[in-house]
Amino acid sequence: MQNRIAQTFAKKQNRLLNIYFTAGYPTLDATVPLLETLAASGADLIEIGMPFSDPLADGPVIQQSSTVALQNGMNLYVLFEQLKDIRQRVPETPILLMGYLNPVLQFGIEKFCEQAAAAGADGLILPDMPLVEYEEEYKEIFQRYGLQPVFLITPQTAPERIRRIDALTDSFLYLVSGPGTTGGGTTQDSDTQEAYFKRVAEMGLRNPRLIGFGIGDKKSFDRACEYANGAIIGSALIRSLEGATDAPAAAKAFVSSVLN
């Protein structure tokens, strides 16, 4: 049986929108309403950020949202409790948990995977999880609970590593658009970036590709979709939620601005 991620890509091969938001932001109880709204508004996949005090790949916008979420009282125990009935509300949209390895290890890797799967998660994005450690220590646990890993590829990732990553997952490949952190404009010129996207596209990889980092509006989403199956947006959504009196309404309006 295909996992939800594979089913989603089987049904829709292009212009997929993967939306990221931080659990517990802008308020502690915003997680489930935002998730429901994003799914209903047209997001094809949803990443829930697990706030962490020392995020390595995230820019200032997501860092700030994580700080607020932690101050609001968000942690893994609260998140899993919030998500316990989510599949009754959002039955089909793939849900991925995105965060960093340290809190997962503190929680306990097997306990984390068990509770993530029970909460309805389909995959995990842990940018600082070493590939060799995944293969040797975590792969069997992920598979036991039906969780798909998602690995990041950058312009500097060697072809042999890209193929190894492609062989280790049945979800999608996360193409980082260029140097820098989430939410920032890329410092790569468009020709260099285009060459990178084309190089990966021409490798004949078995998994679909989504482009992330620096994608924040309809124009950048449309451009990313020329070179991959879709794109990932996070910081721009978080900015739209800042100071919003109705976070779900703001999220709905944002998704509409990207897709329509």
Query: Among all residues, which ones are annotated catalytic?
Result: 47, 58
Note every long-range contact of 70-74, with CB atoms under 8 Å and residues 24 or more positions apart, other chains counting. Answer: 70/24, 72/24, 72/25, 72/27, 72/28, 73/24, 73/28, 74/23, 74/24, 74/25, 74/28, 74/31
Question: Using an 8 Å Cβ cutoff, are 214 and 186 in contact?
Answer: yes
State how beta strands 45-49 and 16-22 pair. parallel
56 backbone dihedrals φ, ψ, rounded to 5°:
-85, -35
Question: Using an 8 Å Cβ cutoff, are 117 and 145 in contact?
Answer: yes
* Residue whose pair of structure tokens reads 């598979």 in the numeric block: 143
* Residue whose pair of structure tokens reads 């950048």 in the numeric block: 220
149 backbone dihedrals φ, ψ, rounded to 5°:
-80, 150
DSSP label of 202: T
H/E element, 65: helix 60-72
Number of H helices, E strands in the chain: 14, 9
